[in-house]
């Protein structure tokens, strides 16, 4: 890759708009589901998988299931995106909290973080 192409890719990455949303992590063998909200749902799986692969995820139950069953048994799903330009940053966080609660109840899930 030449220098100009690399520079263009980096610029595009930095200019990409973060989209908030709610996601679910599922462990097939145990049937467990965890949900959480993220200010950048498109990058969330990489962050989660990194923590789980290294054995240091903050959610001990999720880490235990990952260790017991392995990465191949886990799936990541974006449940909902919050892409409302009219919302203030606080409005996005409030909507995120509300929608996370909705999905916790709807799926009978546990909180992925916090």
Note the pTM of the prediction, 2 decimals. Answer: 0.84
Query: What is the 3-state composition of the chain as percent helix, strand, coil, each rounded to the nearest 5?
Result: 50, 20, 25
* 3-111 CATH fold: GIY-YIG endonuclease (3.40.1440)
Question: 6 falls in which pLDDT band (50, 70, 90)?
Answer: confident
| pLDDT tens sequence across 23-72 | 999 999 999 999 999 999 999 999 999 999 999 999 999 999 999 999 99
Domain ranges of the chain: 3-111
Tokens of residue 97, six digits: 């909290």
Distance of CA 61 to the CA centre of its chain: 17
- Region 86-97: mean pLDDT is 92
């Amino acid at each position: 890759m030449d220098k100009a192409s690399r520079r263009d890719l980096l610029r595009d990455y930095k200019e990409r708009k973060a989209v908030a949303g709610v996601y679910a992590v599922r462990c097939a063998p145990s049937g467990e589901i965890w949900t959480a909200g993220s200010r950048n749902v498109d990058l969330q799986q990489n962050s989660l998988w990194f923590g789980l692969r290294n054995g240091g995820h903050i959610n001990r139950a999720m880490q235990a299931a990952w260790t017991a069953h392995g990465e191949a048994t886990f799936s990541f799903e974006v449940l909902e995106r919050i892409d409302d330009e009219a919302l203030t940053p606080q409005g996005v966080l409030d909507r995120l909290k509300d929608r996370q609660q909705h999905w916790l109840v709807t799926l009978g899930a546990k909180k992925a973080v916090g």
